[in-house]
Amino acid sequence: AQSVTQPDIHITVSEGASLELRCNYSYGATPYLFWYVQSPGQGLQLLLKYFSGDTLVQGIKGFEAEFKRSQSSFNLRKPSVHWSDAAEYFCAVGVGTGNMLTFGGGTRLMVKP
């Protein structure tokens, strides 16, 4: 069965600093890959997704992610973090018929002034 690991439960960065959130997956083939963001008490908003093609994908709010097959990773990056980026970030893989999603445990991002 597929699994998703987000090694960092919490990350704190200074506003304006760069950010990288790690995501590793376990699956026999290339899955669909997603990053979602969740603000407190809210649903999930799709940041970006990878299905095929260019392994560097651009998303909303200045985020990007790179699929590295050799490392089974799909890390999320942003060159300069804003205070409004503080939230919970979930990596997910979609597999099989129906593209069922398996979520990582999430990474809580805190931004300090």
Partner 1 sequence: GAVVSQHPSRVICKSGTSVKIECRSLDFQATTMFWYRQFPKKSLMLMATSNEGSKATYEQGVEKDKFLINHASLTLSTLTVTSAHPEDSSFYICSARDISGIGETQYFGPGTRLLVL
Residues at the interface with partner 1 (CB under 8 A): 32, 34, 36, 41-46, 49, 51, 90, 94, 98-101, 103-106
How many other C-beta atoms are found inside a 10 Å radius of the C-beta of residue 4?
A: 22
| Closer by beta carbon to partner 1, 28 or else 98 | 98
Least spacing, CB of residue 46 vs partner 1, in Å: 6
Least spacing, CB of residue 83 vs partner 1, in Å: 21
Distance CA 22, CA 12 (A): 14
How many other C-beta atoms are found inside a 10 Å radius of the C-beta of residue 73?
A: 17
The dihedrals phi and psi of 7, each to the nearest 5 degrees, come to: -65, -25
Least spacing, CB of residue 15 vs partner 1, in Å: 24
